[in-house]
């Protein structure tokens, strides 16, 4: 009986694990709202009470760059694959606001405190990619992808939800090496909505 059980165990199909790992780089830009105040009225009259200073807001386009790792779940020949990404990202400094004409009379009346240093974050996302086109003997693949996650590690406690959607281009250099590039629309959610464009590229090492 024990011998029969051992033979049956050995004949069971072994679980197959397929996927890949990839170093990646990313970069793009997103919007941020910067507040500023005027210490005088539009007529040039000095306002004595700081609490009464008019408040204005300006949308700025802020660059960002990053690098990290991607893990792929799924066979290299599958049209649908799962993707996990963990990476560091750095936002560039904000700019001193450039008021529209009529909002402040004199640039010396402008009071603002933009973030003047880079901002470092740890980001993790999970997603899925759907292959829609194959070409060049299946070496080339175009896919649509969605990634959802968060900036979960920040120094100033400004963690945010991150959602990305866009297209993916993948090319198989060899059976085990692929290069890829993504171009995504990105949405950040932290008190307000921030819109952006993100590009990601990397080299996947695939395994069965």
pLDDT in tens, 43-93: 778 888 888 888 888 899 999 999 999 999 988 888 899 999 999 999 999
How many C-beta neighbours within 10 Å does residue 32 have? 20
* pLDDT tens for each residue of the chain, 208 residues long: 444 443 344 444 444 458 899 999 999 999 999 998 889 887 778 888 888 888 888 899 999 999 999 999 988 888 899 999 999 999 999 998 887 755 676 778 888 889 999 999 999 999 999 999 988 888 999 999 999 999 999 998 999 999 999 999 999 999 899 999 999 999 999 989 999 999 999 999 998 7
* Best CA proximity match to 167, nearest among 139, 122, 197: 197
| 40 neighbors 56 (Cβ within 8 angstroms) | no
* Cβ proximity of 16 and 208 under 8 Å: yes
* Closest among 68, 57, 67, 56 to 31, alpha carbons compared: 57
| % of the chain beyond a pLDDT of 90 | 62
Sequence-distant (≥ 6) Cβ neighbours of residue 192 within 8 angstroms: 33
CA-CA distances (angstroms) from residue 151 to 11, 31, 41, 125, 148?
Answer: 46, 16, 40, 9, 11
End-to-end CA distance of the chain: 34
DSSP, collapsed to helix, strand or coil, labels residue 67 as: strand
Residues ≥6 apart with Cβ < 8 Å to 140: 133, 134, 169, 170, 171, 172
Single pTM value for the model: 0.83
Instruction: Enter the DSSP assignment of 46.
Output: B
- 68, 100 in Cβ contact below 8 A? no
H/E element holding 28?
strand 19-38
């Amino acid at each position: 009986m024990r011998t029969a059980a051992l033979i049956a165990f050995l004949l069971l199909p072994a679980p197959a694990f397929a996927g890949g790992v990839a170093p990646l780089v990313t970069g793009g830009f997103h919007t941020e709202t910067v507040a500023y105040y005027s210490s005088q009225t539009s007529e040039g009259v000095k306002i004595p009470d700081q609490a009464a200073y008019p408040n204005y807001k300006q949308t700025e386009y802020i660059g960002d760059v990053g690098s990290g790792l991607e893990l792929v779940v799924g066979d290299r020949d599958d049209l649908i694959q799962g993707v996990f990404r963990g990476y560091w990202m750095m936002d560039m400094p904000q700019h001193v606001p450039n008021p529209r004409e009529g909002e402040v009379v004199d640039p010396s009346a402008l009071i603002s405190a933009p973030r003047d240093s880079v901002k470092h974050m740890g980001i993790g996302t999970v997603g899925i990619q759907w292959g829609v086109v194959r070409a060049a003997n299946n070496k080339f693949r175009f896919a649509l992808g969605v990634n959802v996650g968060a900036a979960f590690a920040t120094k100033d406690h400004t963690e945010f939800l991150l959602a990305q959607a866009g297209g993916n281009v993948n090319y198989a250099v060899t059976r085990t090496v692929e290069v890829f590039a993504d171009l995504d629309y990105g949405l950040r959610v932290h008190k307000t909505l921030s819109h952006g464009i993100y590009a990601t590229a990397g080299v996947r090492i695939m395994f069965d």
